[in-house]
Amino acid sequence: MSSRSALSRRGFLGTSLLFVAGAAVACNGDPQGTAAAKGAKVTLTQWYHQYGEEGTQAAVKRYAEQYTKANPDVAVNVVWGADTSQYETKLNAALLGADAPDIFELGDFRAEMARKGQLAPLDDVYGSAKDGFNKADLDYLTVDGKLYGIKTIDDVMVLFYRRSMLKKAGVTPPTTFDELVDAAKKLTDGDVKGLFLGNDGIGDSPYLLAWSQGKDLIDGKKVVYADAASSISGLRDLHTDKSLLLGFTTDWYDAGAFTQGAAAMQWCGLWALPTIEKALGDDFGVVPWPAHGATGRPVARLGGWTQAVNAKSKHVEEAKNYLKWLWIEQADIQIDWAVKYGFHVPPQTEVAAKTPGLNKGAAKGTVAIGTKNGVSFPAEWTQAMQAEFIAAAADIAKGAAPEKTLKKAQAKGQADLDKQMG
């Protein structure tokens, strides 16, 4: 269920089903009338983007059916939507109209939506359970002191390494960026490269380098990633050493380069771990992205999808109650969603600890890394900011002056942020 999954393209409203008192009824354009006929007083419409993993659509329908069985006054109209590339556009359009969903998914949570009054605050939904969630997720979903979403899965991204290759080269898993550069160089041998960050040689590394220096992308009302010029300049070392694998047949979010022995180390996500285990057995390990400098810290990026409530819904309280039941109270459902149709981490620490497959070996280590070292994008981060930042990092890797290049990109990002803040 990673946002990186290969998704097929289908019609957006082609598979909507309504669950009323435990029975599935095809949605015919009058869901409220259908619900009333079956005895439900309220119909909630819940939008999902189209997941690529088999079984996900049936699962979300089943969850809705379970809720209606327990709460016969509430029907849930599950709308299985467009693929990732189309979903957000369709959602944004729907939220401006009269037929907007009551509950919907967000691949990239955006603070701007909360500040525009499109999202209902969910602090009361979390209640006392708030302390049991990954802090990085809570920080990500907090806008001006209030929580506006609930993560449904955490996709933890870590550095995978081949034990046998490191042992042969006399290298230990890196704990600092200097060690990473040195290890990548020593592990580069013939057709094997030391490190795979992505086909462009950049991937997630600019974010990771900034965070691992102890810096951030945005601080309050300021874009500040130029403060990480010293760490981001390290990309030049990796490129100069020619220790990076470039232009592989699959990109960083697929484990092919790692399992096929084209790279001794690869930045990838927990979702790929079952494939890696099948191919390599126990000949691999995981570590966070290493700290940069004396004041730095190891980090791991957290991805995953979020569900939110439409602040303009006629049934905000009923929608909140459904989200509370689904993503706070139902541990079995959260486990099912995380590992039955992919390999992900439930955001609640206690639920993750009892999830089959996540309590041993590299998976357990990855969960621990996500809890201790997890970092998420700021809620104000936009696609435009991302494009400018990545382009600047790519120029630095090729030899551009780090501080000057980042400040130029940062100025454009600041204009974007100022516009958000009104």
0.85 surpassed by pTM: yes
Tell me if the domain spanning 17-154+304-375 has CATH number 3.40.190.10: yes
- Which residues make beta-bridge pairs with 159? 267, 287
pLDDT score of 81:
82
pLDDT score of 98:
87
pLDDT score of 38:
64
What's 156-301+382-420's CATH class?
alpha beta
Neighbours of 169 (CB within 10 A): 18
Closest CA to 49 of 121, 108, 112: 108
Determine the 3-state secondary structure of 244 from DSSP. strand
**First-residue to last-residue Cα distance in the chain:** 35
Mean pLDDT for the chain overall: 91
* Average pLDDT value for residue range 311-328: 98
Find out whether 374 and 297 touch, Cβ atoms under 8 Å: no
* Average pLDDT value for residue range 384-394: 97
Q: Pinpoint the residues of the chain covered by CATH 3.40.190.10.
A: 17-154+304-375, 156-301+382-420
Distance CA 95, CA 311 (A): 10
- Crossing angle, helix 273-280 and helix 361-373, to 10 degrees? 140
pLDDT digits (tens, 9 = 90+) for 169-181: 999 999 999 999 9
- In the numeric block, which tokens belong to residue 416? 């974007």
Find out whether 67 and 76 touch, Cβ atoms under 8 Å: yes
Q: How many CA atoms lie within 13 A of 18 on its CB side?
A: 23
